[in-house]
Amino acid sequence: MNTKPCLRHAGLNSKPMKKVILTLALAIPIFLFSAFSLLQEDNDLKNFVIKVKSKWGEKCSQCGTSTDTFTVYYRNSATKKLDIMVGVCEESNWWRLSTFYGVAPGDTLKSYACKGTGGSLLWAREAGDKSYNFPSQKEVNDQYPCKKK
């Protein structure tokens, strides 16, 4: 007696069913990859913004020659223009936020705190992408407490 299941009677050997299975086998991985890419895009863009250096006591037109001035430099290492927001922590426990629009690939930007703690944060999005809003000053201060020196 043959104990192997008959695919024809289970409906798995029909041409329409084979097409459905093949379509699903191709569509599901493509869909999952696309969805994952879209979800990760905004978060991953900040990974292309590289901290180049930071300095204490650098002369600043806004702060003068204070030794407490903390300056941080970031470079766009992506292959496309980015809008970048940088937060530098002030000793007074709030974030000095600077937003840079249309930062070209390879460009370096500079942000500072006159009486800094050494802390910095950043956010990035594709240049001009208004579907992703940078957080407000209040949101940043509430969600990311500054750390003292």
pLDDT in tens, 34-44: 444 443 344 58
Q: How far apart are CA 47 and CA 37, in angstroms?
A: 14
**Contact yes or no for 74/50 (Cβ under 8 A):** yes
**Contact yes or no for 96/86 (Cβ under 8 A):** no
Half-sphere exposure of 82 (CA within 13 A, CB side): 29
pTM score: 0.69
**Contact yes or no for 95/146 (Cβ under 8 A):** yes
Q: ∠85-65-71 over CA atoms, to 5°?
A: 25
Query: Which pLDDT value is given to residue 84?
Result: 97
Q: How far apart are CA 104 and CA 99, in angstroms?
A: 14
Strand partners, 7: none
Q: How far is CA 115 from CA 27, 41, 42, 100, in A?
A: 55, 34, 31, 21
Q: pLDDT per position in the chain (149 positions), as tens?
A: 555 555 555 555 566 666 766 666 665 655 444 444 443 344 589 899 999 999 998 887 888 767 889 999 999 999 999 999 999 999 998 999 999 999 999 999 999 999 999 999 999 999 999 898 999 999 999 999 987 65
Nearest to 60 by CA among 99, 106, 111: 111
